[in-house]
Amino acid sequence: MKPAAFDYYRPTTRREAIEQLVERGEDARIIAGGQSLMAVLNMRLSQPRVLIDISAVDELRYIERRDGYLAVGAATTQAELAEYAVLADEVPLLEQMLPWIGHFQTRNRGTVCGSIAHADPSAELPLCLATLGGEVVLETKRGKPRRVTGDDFFQGVLTTARRPHELITEVRFPLSKAGHRYRFQEVAMRHGDFAIVALAVDIGETEYRLGVGGVADRPVVRRIPRDVDLDDALNTLAWSLEAQDDIHASATYRRHLVREMGRRLMTEEIVQEETTDVRPAR
């Protein structure tokens, strides 16, 4: 379990990172926290010729509130986002969801944008981005940065709308809306495991936006008016996801969770269940 040989670059500016990416194109992989990529490299499921490590690009390490968004730069770790003091006010869904991502050790290295770039269908951050209707900002050498909504960005298992010469420089999570409530719930085998089903919901005055992770090949978001029969709507959603049996859970079980956990979450019968997350001592 040793990676194949690769060249390693560690740019310190955004411009440098993009230039290297444009120059090496499909031969290159961006690495930030390496929490998914290192395992893939070690198993030789990927053998890129070049790694461009953006973790030293300080100008991509930020959390900023602007234009109705919370913007998170590409070098920002999940732990840094979790420690952002007013996260619970600005993007409460993120605040609820972050403890479910892996473990504090992995969050210390794993980046917010890296998880979104990887597009694991069970990952929490893509689910939140899609549910909230956030955006991914992609930059390349020439032209204006491209902005892609979460819905369009996630295109299938590990597959996104990013083009080979584009660097994800930022993701933008919409700030919480007045009168809306946000809920997150997940079922995984153990704390920190890939979600069997993860649900995120934005409860508005007239509609729910419900996002489902862990079932289809990407996060799936449905807008459900508050006046429809919720059970019917959830059953339709559950069947539409084409759930599969795997070694940990059956398709029937996944549909059951979408229906039952979805209803309880949307009607707020359950609020955030305590996670068993272990946090570092301060």
State which of positions 238-277 bind another protein (CB under 8 A): 239-240, 242, 244-250, 252-253, 255-257, 259-261, 264, 270, 276
Q: Give the nearest distance from C-beta 71 to another protein in angstroms.
A: 17
Q: Taking CB under 8 A as the criterion, which residues in 70-99 touch another protein? A: 74
Neighbours of 282 (CB within 10 A): 3
Instruction: Determine the Cα–Cα distance for residues 157 and 170; give it in Å rounded to an integer.
Output: 21
Q: Give the nearest distance from C-beta 267 to another protein in angstroms.
A: 13
Task: Tell me if 172 contacts another protein by CB under 8 A.
Answer: no
CB 13 within 8 A of CB 20: no
Q: Pick the closer one to another protein by CB: 19 or 193.
A: 193
What's the burial of 245, exposed, middle or buried (CB within 10 Å: 0-12/13-18/19+)?
A: exposed
Q: Give the nearest distance from C-beta 219 to another protein in angstroms.
A: 13
> What mask of x and - would describe binding to another protein in positions 125 to 164, judged by CB under 8 A?
------------------------------xxxxxxxxxx
Q: Give the nearest distance from C-beta 54 to another protein in angstroms.
A: 8
CA 76 to chain centre: 13
Q: Taking CB under 8 A as the criterion, which residues in 212-241 touch another protein? A: 216-217, 231-232, 235-236, 239-240
Closest CA to 109 of 80, 83, 137: 80
Closest CA to 226 of 176, 161, 181: 181
**Which 8-state DSSP code applies to residue 2?**
-
Q: Pick the closer one to another protein by CB: 20 or 36.
A: 36
Instruction: Determine the Cα–Cα distance for residues 191 and 101; give it in Å rounded to an integer.
Output: 9
